[in-house]
Amino acid sequence: MTKRVLVTGFMPFEGNTVNPSEELLKFLNNQNFSFPVKTQVLPVSFNNSLPLLDKVISEFKPTHVILTGHAQKRTELTIERIGINWVDARIPDNEGVTLKAQKILENGADGLFSRISLQPMINAASNYVPVKISTSAGEYVCNYVLYSFLHLYPDIPGTFIHIPGADDHLDFFKAIQAIIEAV
């Protein structure tokens, strides 16, 4: 089966006009891959991010999914190992919804591990930028989407990658391009 990789990013949020994960998708759309790569911008929305992700997965039928988002306070590219069954948003999503101190899935596992080999991803990215494995995708929409993806699609290898705050993201974008090639 030919590798088919879906890469998602998010719209800007919290008053920002740019989200580096959305800019990543523009960068990837201008690259050449030897296999199909589909990009999709997701809304920063507890209610609408998953229906769009589900629609794209059902139409594109990816063999791998790389979800991405922005973590302004981080300094390295961080590959998420675990999605936790918890949301506790410090700010509302882009639709004004604030989910506080609650499970994502009432009877779901407390955490779900990414089902993709992380070491080849780290090896590929470390040629470009500092990279590390993270055990928390936070408690906002990023983690909500990661946990939900891992729960709904147990047969599709995938994870979440956080792009850190930086003045220039080009090397981080090249690192994620290398990760896509490596998965």
Among all residues, which ones are annotated catalytic? 80, 142, 162
**What 3-state class would DSSP assign to 23?**
helix
d(CA 27, CA 21): 10
Alpha-helical segments (H) within 84-169: 118-125, 141-152
**Cβ–Cβ under 8 Å, residues 22 and 12:** yes
3-state helix, strand, coil in the chain (%, to 5): 30, 25, 45
Q: Comparing C-alpha atoms, which of 25, 27, 44, 126 is closest to residue 77?
A: 126
Q: Which two tokens stand for residue 106?
A: 């009432």
